Structure 1
């Protein structure tokens, strides 16, 4: 107990150091614990969103478990036993085992079909049999509404079963309500009489109660009361039951990633239960959500890998911060440790006292860290871009066992970092400690082992390895999963930052020598004293300098990485769409309606089949003015695109994409990155504007088919012939054109891999329409800033424009920002940037305050020999510039260089074959302004505090301290 009290008192005595160490440990635990919390929360949200999309697009409620047992030769009693046992399982353990809330549990049974005839009617009508079956559905009356008639009685009335039918079922009966039918024969036990008394439809269109939303499967079904069906048909075998369906509807909006395994297990158990009772060939099982769920384990693994790659630089920075603070704690107590060692204390006893302190701090960090990590997760979920947050629906985040496991690992790592300086300090006796104090220029370990050179070499190897892999991915049209990713790719940016910083610090003593040599004739005594202090104690400053380099470089890397990924994702969407809004419409044409379908031909078809022949479809071009005058439209352009056109020149021919434009309107409407081509895009458009036969071709066409500027080529497509054009220019990129081979289009072993790259020809629309064919084109719109989407759509509806498709770039970009990978990137990099700023400021201030306190005697002597407070502050400013200032400059250099080299690595998280336009590193001036402002404020505040400490130094107190 006495030892514990002593440790607590020691912690209170060094409260600021202990608090700083605790701050680093808490942030580290919180940061690491966000990984499982965030990945589960965001994937749970995306799973629910994907299931919602599936329901809208396929009109199928995804979180359903549909099990059907079909009977063949089983005796009636055996069928009854199977039905009862499956009822008990499906409505009990089976429905509850998925842990999702049960919305509906539907039991639907059917008898075999039997023939029936009306009791009343003409002889010819009685000869026309109707084939129907008797069915029951649990709780049917709560989900339907009557369109005619009434609900049937729960018992036969005068021996007649009253039934419900759909509108289609009444038509199939070819009768009116209350018409009595009877059936007899081998399929019916005795005589069966029934009459339809009500016609129903669904109460709600979106009711998941009905597995078949269209109710087409009930067209030959007579529905009766559930209990009556059980008594007379399941148990009484009036007509044999041929199948029974158990349909469980679960609330998928509550589904989380942790429940996926139980949902899959529940579905398999349900299927197995039915198979065990009736056999595999008589079982039908459906769970639409399983196909969507299958991809989520892979997505979760990819997301965790991406998060690790983003966290590593921040974790290294935090680790170095904690090691620096732990080293300061050990340094301040080295004299005490050395005295204890010289008086017989064992190393393990000293280490044990510090270990208890570390355990207390680690336990407190583990207790508080995951809760703070939960807050960080919500911060990540609200990220809408780098340093941008929006009010969106909160992520379904919660603390999990895995979060505490991750936090415990981080706390254990922090505990080890705390003990390392203590272990090193216990190796030194009191004599050795005094010798170390006299030898401040000791060469650091990393310098002796050349760790800086090794780190940089490994980082450069990783960079070249990545570039080679990425080139293969793009040129061979592969997915990013087609090649095994080297985990080193996610570590190399951090290694490069650390290695480059240490490598430049290796040159630091030579820089000090150069500064001394350049001004040796003019330096004042205070400047000489500062240079001597810094040069003789360079190892003392290296911890601070490396720390500042890491924080500044990490901040710059985080900012540029986030801006680059955001900017390139937005550019890819804008380039792929071509304009703010793209409208496709149907044109009046003379195409006859297809004989086998109710839908008309697509707008791009030029031929149609009629009576076994084919002919060209003639279109009538609608007025363009209603599109160009829509509210909010700044510019509008006609853009014709034919993907299956052909090109020929001599013996060369190929399939190409042909784009027809009005050059002036197109140039003012489209979006295009200015750095993609050697000259502005408008220069290329002006090049072909003067000659209607002029075209631009893609470089892929020029290289693969040997076409040069000035060549005459022939272009056309099926059933329209061809026309001659002259090549005026060659370009690498053009709006919407992807020059990379499509995924899976190239054999990896093909020596001419790039020969399958897409090819493009761009010409003037009037000549294409006049010489080749008039066919529907898209309308591209450039919108005014702040335009209203609702107003635009309302105007389209009001003018009755025949729009068949709308592409909205803003909506596509907003959808992309909700992708879990992009949200993780923005959130984590924003978090890393903010943490770098906070930790940098606290570490800088802590180090210098403690350093200055340790030099109180030295400062008192300086004052005693005649230096003024002004000169002392001047010395302090110079010392800051020579240490912190140089460290900040190195950090800026390393951060920018690492961004240029390694930020492109993040495109491996996307599909490289779709990264068009090419990945470009983006630096945002505002981010640098924020970072540099923080650094400037940090240095200024530090100087003010340190200057105040120097000015308050009393000479007699300092000298008295020296005597003590």
Structure 2
């Protein structure tokens, strides 16, 4: 008990230092615990959003499960009946096995096809009738369909007649009405069934929003009660049952990232269960493909988070070590006295271990809660130090967070104990000797760590640059936004190594400054220069703090800005405008002539008399309504045709993509960033506007075929005669066109420079008049304040038949919600904020302790007659030559690592799709924001230090000296 009392008293005597150390531990715990929390929360959000996109893209409920199987057996024997019953029980248990609630489900049974005709049909009508139908049964049918006419069937009828529900279309095909008896004839067994339609049904979407039963998609047939179907055909065996269907709607909102492996395993086991059990089976779980990618995503995200956190972890390690070292420095005399009086090193270390355990356990209690706040801060980040009103992440503390936090506390305590362990090796005599060795070299410089770190970073930089050049030259591809973790670790290593290297030289620079002006320096400056040059090791940690904070802050700002801008520009360029639409064109194309077993006609037969395929004639829909859409600033017709043929007068031909545009509308609507072309895009449009036969060609086409402006070029595609055009200009890029080498080309496979695609841009009207009228797309530029939803609603209101849509804003939203991009923006912001916090507190605690250690010195200086203004000048000049110099060094290093390492992020994008070219983005507002925060921190620190200095009294200082 006495030992604990001594420990608590010692902590109380150093309460501000202990509080500072506890703050570092709490931040450390919060940071580490936020890693699994953020990884889990962001993947959970992304999983839900990607599942929701299934409904948007495929028009299918994300929790949809459909199982369909044929029945191979011709008769309903005991074995088949038992297999069907087992399958029913198995499917019924699928929701429980997946751990998701069953929102809706139904079963459907279908018999083999019957030839159907009216009971009163003549022999001639029977022969001419070519209508087929079958018996169908759906569980809870009366609750899933809408009865248009008639009544529901009676399953208890015992006169051999089946009452059934049918669709209006089927009745029209049969040329019969409700109540008319229909005969169903089985060709194989010659058996007949008497059927009377008693009601007409239609789809009732409102009956089930998860699994609406689409009546028309079920084809022709007779819907009878499910119980009657089971009794007559499953157990009775009166006709062959051809197929079974089970459909389930699971509550996908309950699916958690932790359970995706289990969900995938159950989904695959369902497929295995129905494989050849009853017949040919089909299992459709649309969400399975999305879910199966999440294990790999989680692993990659965890690695990325670790690499993103590495710089701030390094800062925290420095902070904790500095705080612990400051505490030990004040207690070294006590430790040496205890050692001299017989205390063992183990006893002293046990006391410090107990002291740090108290701090660690209290930090472990608070840190994870702070980690939850950190995680929510990460989720709201949309860029470096940019926050948006995004839905808050669903964050809950779990065992993984506490395990990581406990491991972080343990490692932090071991780090904190290092200064105490080193201090226990020194006797009281050695302690007095060390106090007088102000100029001893630091451990980092003794071991040459600065040179090692810089060399390692440069070596890795060379390897990454070599790899990037290979990707660019050979048009090799890489996954979109899969960032190599070393891209974040390398700049931190380089910044640390460069900072230590400059600080190795900096004391010599101070001595040189002192030597130059030694005859003119005022006493205050003289004292400051002597103090800094002789006590360089004393300032090392705080200067490294500031250098790392500023350097990594600049790198984070430039890296985040570059990644965000390049991803957004790529999306805008690929779409070409705010919205790109495909509109339905009426045409005379014949319907596909394919039956169940393939094309009509014998296999291998060829109609030698058939000529070339007839060209499809299209009817152009009106374009004016697109321009008149409310919220549309401008609209343009854009015709794009792949693989058109070109030929040149001097020889040479090939294939290219053809663009047909209206120059005025296209110039107002299309998006192209400045700097991609030699001149503004409107200059090229004006160039060709005067001549209907004028075209622009890509530089790849011009260089490959030695084409110059003024040369004629002939264009055509299959089934057309050539049309003559004239080259007016050469371009490198065009909205929506990818000029990069073709992936997988023979040249690329052989390790050579890959072939580049070609482009021709001409007038749409000329192309339509001289070549052919074919469907074009419509590009829209929206007015400020207009949303995509407004345009969608108006398109629906005007009943414009849209067949395809590319929406820049929606693509940008998807990109912004990418877990890797969210991680980059969030962690870079959080890392900088934490770095600034610990730098501020470290700055304050360092200088406050330094001031308290110089109380006697300042008192003596005041007693010697040096005015307070000069003492303040000494403090300010010391700050400028230490903290100010560190900030300046950090700016230089930050700009250097931005220029060296930010270009490497080009490898993080799909090389094949990175158009416009990757560019480094520097924004003045980022620098102003960063410098303002650093300046505020230093100014606040100086004000606090000045206030503390003004409180020093000469009499107290001199009395302290006497004691």
TM-score normalised to the size of structure 1? 0.88
For 1:630 and 1:445, locate their aligned partners in 2 and report how far apart those are by CA, in whole Å. Answer: 71
- Tell me if structure 2 keeps the 8 A contact 1:149–1:197: yes
For 2:727 and 2:182, locate their aligned partners in 1 and report how far apart those are by CA, in whole Å. Answer: 79
Query: Is residue 826 of structure 1 aligned with residue 825 of structure 2?
Result: yes
For 2:40 and 2:880, locate their aligned partners in 1 and report how far apart those are by CA, in whole Å. Answer: 46
- Tell me if structure 2 keeps the 8 A contact 1:109–1:241: yes
Classify the secondary structure of the residue corresponding to 2:713.
Answer: strand
Residue of structure 1 equivalent to 2:599: none
Identify which range, 657-666 or 20-29, moves more after superposition: 657-666
Classify the secondary structure of the residue corresponding to 1:100.
Answer: coil
Shift of 1:542: 0.5
* Distance verdict in 2 for CA 1:190–1:392, change over 3 Å: same
For 1:235 and 1:776, locate their aligned partners in 2 and report how far apart those are by CA, in whole Å. Answer: 55
Identify which range, 265-274 or 455-464, moves more after superposition: 265-274
- Tell me if structure 2 keeps the 8 A contact 1:463–1:489: no
For 1:881 and 1:497, locate their aligned partners in 2 and report how far apart those are by CA, in whole Å. Answer: 21
* Distance verdict in 2 for CA 1:129–1:452, change over 3 Å: closer
Identify which range, 487-496 or 424-433, moves more after superposition: 487-496
For 1:433 and 1:44, locate their aligned partners in 2 and report how far apart those are by CA, in whole Å. Answer: 56
Residue of structure 1 equivalent to 2:881: 882
- Tell me if structure 1 keeps the 8 A contact 2:539–2:882: yes
Residue of structure 1 equivalent to 2:673: 673
Residue of structure 1 equivalent to 2:29: 29
Query: Is residue 918 of structure 1 aligned with residue 917 of structure 2?
Result: yes
Q: How does 1:799-810 map to 2 (within 5 A)?
A: 807-810=806-809
Residue of structure 1 equivalent to 2:164: 163
- Tell me if structure 1 keeps the 8 A contact 2:716–2:722: yes
Residue of structure 1 equivalent to 2:405: 407
For 2:745 and 2:78, locate their aligned partners in 1 and report how far apart those are by CA, in whole Å. Answer: 59
Classify the secondary structure of the residue corresponding to 2:199.
Answer: strand
For 1:882 and 1:311, locate their aligned partners in 2 and report how far apart those are by CA, in whole Å. Answer: 30
Identify which range, 105-114 or 864-873, moves more after superposition: 105-114
- Tell me if structure 2 keeps the 8 A contact 1:582–1:808: yes
Shift of 1:25: 2.7
Shift of 1:963: 3.7
- Tell me if structure 2 keeps the 8 A contact 1:178–1:197: yes
RMSD: 3.9
Residue of structure 1 equivalent to 2:815: 816
- Tell me if structure 2 keeps the 8 A contact 1:641–1:777: yes
* Distance verdict in 2 for CA 1:187–1:657, change over 3 Å: closer
Shift of 1:685: 5.8
Residue of structure 1 equivalent to 2:600: none
Classify the secondary structure of the residue corresponding to 2:921.
Answer: coil
- 2:590 paired residue among 589, 594, 605: 594
* Distance verdict in 2 for CA 1:724–1:695, change over 3 Å: closer
Q: How does 1:152-231 map to 2 (within 5 A)?
A: 152-157=153-158, 160-168=161-169, 170=171, 175-180=176-181, 195-204=196-205, 207=208, 213=214, 215-217=216-218, 219-226=220-227, 228-231=228-231
For 1:264 and 1:653, locate their aligned partners in 2 and report how far apart those are by CA, in whole Å. Answer: 51
Q: How does 1:498-509 map to 2 (within 5 A)?
A: 498-509=496-507
Residue of structure 2 equivalent to 1:949: 948
Residue of structure 1 equivalent to 2:750: 750
Unpaired runs of 5+ in structure 2? Answer: 595-608
Aligned length: 944
Residue of structure 1 equivalent to 2:375: 377
Residue of structure 1 equivalent to 2:18: 18
Residue of structure 2 equivalent to 1:342: 340
For 2:515 and 2:665, locate their aligned partners in 1 and report how far apart those are by CA, in whole Å. Answer: 65
Q: How does 1:560-599 map to 2 (within 5 A)?
A: 560-582=558-580, 592-594=588-590, 596=592
Q: Which whole-Å deviations, capped at 9, do the CAs of 1:534-572 have from their partners, x for residues lacking one?
A: 111110000000011111112111211111111122222
Shift of 1:7: 2.7
Shift of 1:614: 5.6
Residue of structure 2 equivalent to 1:428: 426
Query: Is residue 531 of structure 1 aligned with residue 529 of structure 2?
Result: yes
Shift of 1:878: 0.4
Q: How does 1:544-943 map to 2 (within 5 A)?
A: 544-582=542-580, 592-594=588-590, 596=592, 612-613=611-612, 641-649=640-648, 650-659=650-659, 669-677=669-677, 681=681, 696-705=696-705, 707=706, 709=708, 712-718=711-717, 719-723=720-724, 725-726=726-727, 728-729=729-730, 731-745=731-745, 748-754=748-754, 756-762=755-761, 782-787=781-786, 807-943=806-942
Q: How does 1:202-601 map to 2 (within 5 A)?
A: 202-204=203-205, 207=208, 213=214, 215-217=216-218, 219-226=220-227, 228-231=228-231, 233-237=233-237, 244-274=244-274, 279=277, 283-480=281-478, 488-582=486-580, 592-594=588-590, 596=592
* Distance verdict in 2 for CA 1:108–1:663, change over 3 Å: closer
* Distance verdict in 2 for CA 1:273–1:618, change over 3 Å: closer
Identify which range, 338-347 or 200-209, moves more after superposition: 200-209
- Tell me if structure 2 keeps the 8 A contact 1:544–1:844: yes
* Distance verdict in 2 for CA 1:261–1:3, change over 3 Å: same
For 2:844 and 2:99, locate their aligned partners in 1 and report how far apart those are by CA, in whole Å. Answer: 52
* Distance verdict in 2 for CA 1:435–1:711, change over 3 Å: farther
Shift of 1:506: 1.6
Q: Which whole-Å deviations, capped at 9, do the CAs of 1:797-822 have from their partners, x for residues lacking one?
A: 88887876554433432332222222
For 1:451 and 1:188, locate their aligned partners in 2 and report how far apart those are by CA, in whole Å. Answer: 90
Unpaired runs of 5+ in structure 1? Answer: 599-609
Residue of structure 2 equivalent to 1:602: none
For 2:319 and 2:420, locate their aligned partners in 1 and report how far apart those are by CA, in whole Å. Answer: 16
- Tell me if structure 2 keeps the 8 A contact 1:106–1:247: yes
Q: Which whole-Å deviations, capped at 9, do the CAs of 1:99-121 have from their partners, x for residues lacking one?
A: 11111243334455667876666
For 1:717 and 1:880, locate their aligned partners in 2 and report how far apart those are by CA, in whole Å. Answer: 74
For 2:635 and 2:281, locate their aligned partners in 1 and report how far apart those are by CA, in whole Å. Answer: 58
Classify the secondary structure of the residue corresponding to 2:249.
Answer: strand
- Tell me if structure 1 keeps the 8 A contact 2:475–2:741: yes
For 2:666 and 2:684, locate their aligned partners in 1 and report how far apart those are by CA, in whole Å. Answer: 12
- Tell me if structure 1 keeps the 8 A contact 2:479–2:908: no
Residue of structure 1 equivalent to 2:597: none
Identify which range, 645-654 or 238-247, moves more after superposition: 238-247
For 1:759 and 1:147, locate their aligned partners in 2 and report how far apart those are by CA, in whole Å. Answer: 58
For 2:873 and 2:551, locate their aligned partners in 1 and report how far apart those are by CA, in whole Å. Answer: 28
TM-score normalised to the size of structure 2? 0.88
Identify which range, 930-939 or 377-386, moves more after superposition: 377-386
